[in-house]
Structure 1
């Protein structure tokens, strides 16, 4: 069952990333192969993360949570992940190991 949903999750993540890539020119430059995300619960901090994170199930969980929380209308004008910064760092630090 999870297998059938995985392509849908990737498709949704790509939709989020494409819809916000047009805003990158209005903000700080994001290198090719990366995406800017805003993380935080009250004070948002900007992170630039590699697109390879899309292959990580725990990052896809964060994107799914962001979609449930905000839909495709993110308050920061970019991809906003509604979790605390410490949790985000904890999750993403495992990807490089």
Structure 2
């Protein structure tokens, strides 16, 4: 695996977690909207490396006059997205640091 591929994989992970956090924000914003069907994020691996978040309605039944959003579950999803984003950002930063070292070695 090349360094650029590793950085591309971590970038796709950050983008997927960003999509997941956006879906969670929509769910929280619409928690009190009658009939709202919460959005779910499903992570799917991409051939060649990486991941993509597919956001789709859950399809679960909502109680009459309310939504099927559980705010505790949404907060957990947000924390998980934050941790996943930070892990991928750390991997990307490590790759960027390695590029800097390679460039400085080549110049010398």
Q: TM-score with structure 1 length normalisation?
A: 0.33
Rg comparison, structure with higher value = 2
Higher relative contact order (CA 8 A, sep 6+): 2
